[in-house]
C-alpha cells in the first residue's frame, strides 16, 4: 500500500525531523539519496536505520535508481528493516528541498562517549568547531575531516546542528566516517588535556605558521565562527595559535577552506612522511 496522506503518523514524524528540536527530542535524523542509502544498508550502520521512505516515480528518473532500489529492498527484507513506498508529493512535503532525491532513511543517532572515544584513539587529530553556523560549511568540514584522517569533530554548544538535512546533504555520505560530538568547552578542554592533546587555535592575528607545528603530537585544531573567528575564551586556552599564509590583500579564508588546508597539511606531515 502506497502512503499518500500527510496525516500519516510516519509522514508527520519525518516532517518533524526538519526541526532541530524534534531531532533532539527523538534522537533521530534522516538522510536522502539513493547512493548514500545504498552504502548505509550495506554497512555496519544499517543497525541505526529506523525505516525508509521511497518513491518509484522519482527513482525511475534517476540513473540506476530502480536497480539500486531493488538491491536496497532485498537487503532491508533480509535485515527486517521497514520500507514504505510513498507518493511523490509526500516526499516533496516531508523533505526540505524543492526536488527530493526519491528515497530517504530515518536513522537513530548513535550515543557516543567522548572520553572513551578519545582514549581509544591512537594517533588521530581532531577538529573543534567553535560557533560555525553555515550549513554548507559544516558539511564541507565533515568531508574534509573524512578525507584527511581526522577521527573526530567536537562541536561546541554554539555550533549549528550537524544533523540538519542541509548539512547532511553536503557531507555526501561522509557523516559516518567521522565521530561527531557536542560538548561544553570546559569539559572538552579537560578531556583533551588528560589525553595529551595539544590545542591549536587558528587566528589571523598570529605569526606562527602551520608548518612549524610538531605533528608527532596529537593535535586538536580549533576553527571559529565565520564572522568572528575563535572566541576569546577558547583561543586563550589554546596551547599554540597558528595562521595560514596567504596573499595579504585577502582578508580571510572561508572556514571550510581553512579546515581543508589544515587537514591536508596535517595529513601530509602525519601520514605521508
Q: CB–CB of 270/215 below 8 Å?
A: yes
Separation of alpha carbons 22 and 240, rounded Å: 39
Specify the range with the lowest mean pLDDT, choosing from 41-50, 78-87, 243-252, 259-268: 243-252
256-273 pLDDT, tens digit each? 999 999 999 999 999 887
In this prediction, residues 17-26 reach a mean pLDDT of 97
Contact 213, 240 (CB under 8 A): yes
Summarize pLDDT for 197-219 with one digit per residue, the tens.
999 999 888 778 898 999 999 99
Over residues 243-268, mean pLDDT: 93
10 Å CB burial of residue 214 (0-12, 13-18, 19+) is: exposed
> What CA–CA distance (Å, rounded) separates 154 from 234?
13
Cell of 172: 555526501
Positive or negative, the Cα torsion across 170, 14, 20, 92? Answer: positive
Among 111, 159, 150, CA closest to 263: 150
Distance (Å, rounded) from C-alpha 6 to C-alpha 24? Answer: 22
Neighbouring CB atoms inside 10 A of 199's CB total 21
Q: Rounded to a whole number, what is the distance in angstroms from the first to the last CA of the chain?
A: 57
**What DSSP string runs through 174-241?**
GGGGSEEEEE-HHHHHHHHHHTTEEEEEE-TT---BGGGS-TTSEEEEEEEBTTTBS-HHHHHT-SEE
Mean pLDDT of the chain, nearest integer: 94
Give the predicted TM-score (pTM) of the model.
0.93
Of residues 262, 140, 272, 263, the one with CA closest to residue 209: 262
Amino acid at each position: 500500500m502506497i502512503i499518500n496522506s500527510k496525516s500519516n503518523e510516519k509522514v508527520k514524524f519525518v516532517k518533524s525531523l526538519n526541526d532541530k528540536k524534534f531531532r533532539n527530542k527523538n534522537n533521530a535524523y534522516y538522510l536522502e539519496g539513493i547512493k548514500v542509502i545504498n552504502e548505509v544498508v550495506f554497512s555496519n550502520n544499517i543497525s541505526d536505520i529506523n525505516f525508509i521512505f521511497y518513491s518509484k516515480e522519482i527513482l525511475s528518473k534517476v540513473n540506476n535508481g530502480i536497480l539500486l532500489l531493488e538491491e536496497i529492498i532485498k537487503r532491508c527484507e533480509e535485515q527486517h528493516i521497514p520500507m514504505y513506498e510513498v507518493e511523490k508529493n509526500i516526499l516533496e512535503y516531508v523533505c526540505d528541498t524543492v526536488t527530493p532525491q526519491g528515497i530517504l532513511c530515518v536513522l537513530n543517532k548513535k550515543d557516543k562517549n567522548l572520553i572513551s572515544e578519545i582514549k581509544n584513539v591512537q594517533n588521530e587529530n581532531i577538529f573543534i568547531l567553535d560557533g560555525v553556523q553555515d550549513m554548507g560549511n559544516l558539511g564541507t568540514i565533515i568531508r574534509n575531516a573524512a578525507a584527511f584522517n581526522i577521527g573526530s569533530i567536537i562541536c561546541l554548544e554554539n555550533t549549528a546542528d550537524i544533523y540538519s538535512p542541509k548539512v547532511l546533504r553536503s557531507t555526501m555520505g561522509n557523516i559516518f566516517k567521522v565521530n561527531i560530538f557536542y560538548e561544553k568547552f570546559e569539559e572538552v578542554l579537560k578531556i583533551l588535556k588528560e589525553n595529551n592533546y595539544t590545542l591549536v587555535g587558528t587566528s589571523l592575528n598570529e605569526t606562527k605558521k602551520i608548518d612549524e607545528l610538531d605533528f608527532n603530537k596529537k593535535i586538536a585544531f580549533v576553527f571559529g565562527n565565520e564572522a568572528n573567528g575563535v572566541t576569546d575564551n577558547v583561543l586563550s586556552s589554546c596551547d599554540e595559535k597558528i595562521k595560514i599564509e596567504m596573499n595579504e590583500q585577502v582578508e580571510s579564508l572561508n572556514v571550510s577552506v581553512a579546515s581543508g588546508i589544515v587537514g591536508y597539511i596535517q595529513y601530509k606531515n602525519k601520514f605521508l612522511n
